[in-house]
Amino acid sequence: MTMNAKAAEHGARAAELEALVPATCLFHSFSDPSRLVILQHLQLGEHRVVDLTEHLGLSQSTVSKHLARLKDAGLVTSRPEGRASVYSLLHAEALTELLAAAEKLLALTGDAVQLCPVHGSPKTAS
């Protein structure tokens, strides 16, 4: 293989990986259980941070950080209401479809996911 061919192959691989960055960022947004609970809670309608902190039992700053991450990913939006911000889902129908597909996939692979040595629950794996 010539140097040019190797460089072209490397460039193609790099471009393929670069094209996956948005999907990686999106799926990373779902990687924290608290963010998933926030998304599920927002499926019920708009909520203020204080409502979410009460529901989750997390600090205001933690919930705000999760919401910022979800907002950066284009999954939630906010609007001012007095001194508070009210959060809601963007693309609620697509999110519902994605979460339903994830539940279907988990039904098929749940034990493998739960026992995964890298990301599975240590309590389950022991």
pLDDT tens digits, one per residue of 51-94: 999 999 999 999 999 999 999 999 999 999 999 999 999 999 99
Tally helices (H) and strands (E) across the chain: 7, 3
Task: Give the number of other CB atoms < 10 A from CB of residue 72.
Answer: 11
Q: Tell me, what's the pLDDT at 126?
A: 40
Residue type, 62: T
User: What is d(CA 76, CA 91) in angstroms, rounded to the nearest whole number?
Assistant: 8
Model confidence at 6, pLDDT cuts 50, 70, 90, reads confident
User: What is d(CA 51, CA 5) in angstroms, rounded to the nearest whole number?
Assistant: 57
pLDDT tens digits, one per residue of 83-124: 999 999 999 999 999 988 888 888 888 766 666 676 666 554
